[in-house]
Amino acid sequence: MDEMELMMHLHRNNKRQGPGSEDATNLAVTLAKIDREKSYKIADIGCGTGEQTISLAKMLKGNIIAVDLFEEFLEKLKEDSKNENITAHIETLAASMDKLPFEKEEFDIIWSEGAVYNIGFKNGINYWKEFLKPGGILAVSELSWITNCRPKELEDFWNGEYAEMDTIAGKIKALEEAGYTFDNVVKSTCLLGDMSYFADMNEIYAKYYKTDCPARAAFAVKALPMGAMVEIETIAVK
């Protein structure tokens, strides 16, 4: 069994392929001030088996295009959405998240939970921006360091696994360079591998949101992908 087959075997029957929950998705929708009575066109990029896709379909009106590279994951989403009687609101698309067949300014909302690292954070936020309508919402989560000093073993591991692993400050700089500003941010969700990391994370976070801070929620989770200490999901309005 190769690595790809092993990944499919491990994840194909899971509701999610990363941290999160229906409550967390619901909170993100609420804090982003998304009008639940308005109809939206939504892309859920890197949807996996689509637990958050189904949550969004239940919470919001309109249609969702759920994108994933793996047909097997999408088949699971189709099965689950049929059981939930929401198939009319979800369309699946097997495609790579860096080669999407969408039109410019096609979507009101682009959603991606724990997936943008597959093509790199900078690449994702720059590329996907062109598919958002003016005033559209981009919601992504990303792995982040909470300190500038890390053990060499961790540095070596992440340099090999995900070279874009960076501090929160580095991620914010990337957003600014892509044309996003702090004024665009309406909500952040901080996922911590241990709540003891909160003070360090908060100290860094506070340097970038001095006035008109966005709504924020912080949760301790059992584990984060690839042993990360912190993952921060940010919702910004274009």
Tell me which of 79-88, 131-140, 172-181 is least confident. 172-181
Report the number of distinct structural domains present in the chain.
1
Predicted pLDDT at 5: 67
Q: Is residue 9 in a domain?
A: no
Strands, E assignment, the chain: 39-45, 61-68, 90-94, 107-112, 132-145, 166-167, 185-192, 215-220, 230-237
Q: What CATH number has the domain bearing residue 157? A: 3.40.50.150
**Per-residue pLDDT, 11:** 66
pLDDT in tens, 165-181: 888 788 888 888 888 76
Q: Specify if 11 maps to a domain.
A: no
- Whether 173 maps to a domain, the answer reads yes
pLDDT > 80? residue 61? yes
Residue 210 has pLDDT above 80, yes or no: no
Residue-range definition of the domain harbouring residue 45: 20-237
pLDDT tens figures, 15-54: 777 777 888 888 888 877 789 999 999 999 999 999 999 9
Let me know if residue 7 belongs to a domain: no
Residues of the chain with pLDDT > 90: what percent?
A: 39
pLDDT digits (tens, 9 = 90+) for 93-116: 999 999 999 999 999 999 998 899
Whether pLDDT at 70 is above 80: yes
What is the structure's pLDDT at 63? 97
Instruction: Answer with the residue of higher pLDDT: 67 or 237.
Output: 67
Q: Calculate the average pLDDT of the chain.
A: 86
Inside any domain, residue 6: no
Q: Quick one: pLDDT at residue 171?
A: 84
DSSP 32-85: TT--TTSEEEEEEET-TT-HHHHHHHHHSEEEEEEEES-HHHHHHHHHHHHHTT
What's the whole-number mean pLDDT along residues 67-88? Answer: 93
5 domain-assigned: no
* 9 or 149, higher pLDDT: 149
- 110 located within any domain: yes
pTM of the model: 0.74
First to last CA, the chain: 43
More confident residue, 5 or 185: 185
82 falls within a domain:
yes
> Which residue type is seen at 7?
M
Q: For 60, phi and psi rounded to 5 degrees?
A: -120, 155
